[in-house]
Amino acid sequence: MKLNPQDLENIAKLTLEHYNQRAENFWEGTRDHNVSQNIAALLKNIEGEAPFTILDFGCGPGRDLKIFAELGHVAVGLEGAARFAEMARAHSGCEVWQQDFLKLDLPDRHFDGVFANAALFHVPRQELPRVLREVHATLKPNGVLFCSNPHGQNQEGWNRGRYGAYLDIETWRRTMSAAHFIELAHYYRPEGLPREQQPWLASVWRKSYS
């Protein structure tokens, strides 16, 4: 069923309200998560000399944004939830843009890398091609996009107050290829567990023009 503009507004509003109302609890529950594997997966695939200009897409309270800055990179956060954006600015000291994922306003060919950790799955599937094209446009030539999303069997809808699309690897690959990204790597997380205990699909992509 196609989502109309009012549906999309409602999805964004209620999902962001969910995070705003639970911002402090979310921060306490995630601030010590170790995603160094994901950060390394992005940085090692960016071509050229560091420091890099990095967009932390869906930066939340700023945990990873601060790490990118401490590593010497020029890190900018993007966050839809107002409370998270405030927390990220305070925690990281970085610039943070408050933008709804469905209403992006990104500079053209600006970033060496985009780090979308637990973010893009909130984009409804019908809007994902457009959002990915906008992410593609904000990357420099040969720029790199890292994504980590909870995977599933291509189901979509509300889950504990948040909207999400849970795609399998084949559907994710087709969607990314259609948006002119080339796959560099993928893996499941957390490390060292059986697949049924690895809810996260991480993937790394290079901007292409083919």
Q: Per-domain residue ranges for the chain?
A: 5-207
Residues 206 and 48: beta-carbon distance below 8 Å: no
Nearest in space to 208 (alpha carbons), one of 176, 178, 182: 182
R_g over Cα of the chain: 16
Is 114:145 a contact under the CB 8 Å cutoff? yes
CATH class of 5-207: alpha beta
Task: Please list the pLDDT of the chain residue by residue as tens digits (210 residues).
Answer: 799 999 999 999 999 999 999 998 888 888 788 899 999 999 999 999 999 999 999 999 999 999 999 999 999 999 999 999 999 999 999 999 999 999 999 999 999 999 999 999 999 999 999 999 999 999 999 999 999 999 999 999 999 999 999 999 999 999 999 999 999 999 999 988 988 899 999 999 999 975
DSSP string, 15-82: HHHHHHHTHHHHHHHHTT---HHHHHHHHTT--SSSP-EEEEET-TTSHHHHHHHHTT-EEEEEESSH
What are the tokens at 49?
């000399």
The answer to whether the pTM exceeds 0.85 is: yes
